[in-house]
Amino acid sequence: MDERSYVKQKQGSWKQLSDTIEHVRKLGLGSLPKDQLESLGAQYCGVVSDLAFARSQGASGELIRYLNDLAGRAHGVLYASRSAKASGITAFLFGEFPRLFRATFRYTFVAALIFFLGWGIAAYMIHSDPDVAKSLMPEKISRAGARSEREMDVPDPANMSSYIMTNNIKVGIIAFAGGVTAGVITLLIIFQNGLTIGAVAAIAAPHMGPLRFWSLILPHGVIELTAIFICGGAGLLIGSAFIAPGNLRRTDAIKIASGKAVKLLAGTLAFYVVAGIIEGFITPSVLPAWSKLVFAGLTAVALVLYLGFAGNSETAKYSA
């Protein structure tokens, strides 16, 4: 091995990797341009390969130590950053998010009230006039559940459950985005969703039997509805900054509220993932209906414990 020629050939790439490592240490991995970030892993693999080659060719101890140090620093930047990222996500989900939820709970509570107001109105309307059912039932599941012209359209259980979950995710996103309309669209979409789900419940529960109906809805529905209420609360938080900025300039109040609202939305993504897993494996399973309701009750208890107590020591700093 001609060590001098080898070093001359490789030293440009080694110096580039060394400069990148120092840059990341000072400014963080997110400060790298996209192309440089994508090449960092390949550069690390390259220097590890160079180190192995140098060892196999009997290179000098000085070169071995240099390459070993460079590879170690690159490994630290790559994997410590990934660990820090994972740690940051954990800290957010089990600390910052539940604290922020508690600090902004009144907005979530208002969103829940609006939803159940719509649910109650739908139930009352259908009870008073069954013919109203067709106008309130979503066409997508009403059409799929039709059995005969003489029967009321009753949704197919699988189609109903799938529709409600998909609809709830869409409603949550719109409810959050509706905050830019001073919360008007947020209130309307939450109320409309309450009407829709209330209508489905009022129509389907008597025909399917309450036990079977709620065993299809609640296992994933408890988490889903909580996520919707939080998204709605996030939209109302932004809307309140439009309407009542307090002692701040309206733009500043909206900026602060939007920062909190985005974090609330981000936290609900985990809720939708968990609800999707439950909807895919628990809801359609052959488990007895009563056991699914027990499971739903356990999810409710878990939510209360998580949202009510996780990261409890620093709630005050998130007051809204």
Read off the pLDDT of residues 255-314 as tens digits, 9 standing for 90 and up: 889 989 999 998 998 898 888 888 878 887 889 999 999 999 999 999 999 999 987 865
In the predicted model, is pLDDT for residue 134 greater than 70? no
CB 102 within 8 A of CB 316: no
d(CA 311, CA 314): 7
Q: Please indicate whether residue 259 or residue 45 has the higher confidence score (pLDDT).
A: 259
Confidence (pLDDT) at 105: 95
Domain residue ranges of the chain, discontinuous segments joined by +: 3-91, 104-318
Q: Of 45-49, 210-214, 311-315, which one has max mean pLDDT?
A: 210-214
d(CA 223, CA 228): 9
Does the reported pTM lie above 0.85?
A: no
pLDDT digits (tens, 9 = 90+) for 177-195: 999 899 999 999 999 999 9
Q: Residue 313 is inside which H or E element, if any?
A: none
Confidence (pLDDT) at 151: 45
Neighbouring residues of 254: CB distance < 8 A, sequence distance ≥ 6 = 238, 241, 242, 245
Closest listed residue to residue 226, CA positions, set 293, 284, 301, 161? 301
d(CA 274, CA 280): 10
∠ Cα 88 92 95 (to 5°): 120
Q: Residue 102 is inside which H or E element, if any?
A: helix 97-103
Mean pLDDT over 90-116 rounds to: 93
d(CA 303, CA 102): 12
Q: What is the 3-state secondary structure (H, E, C) of 163-200?
A: HHHHHHHHHHHHHHHHHHHCCHHHHHHHHHHHHHHHHH
In the predicted model, is pLDDT for residue 148 greater than 50? no
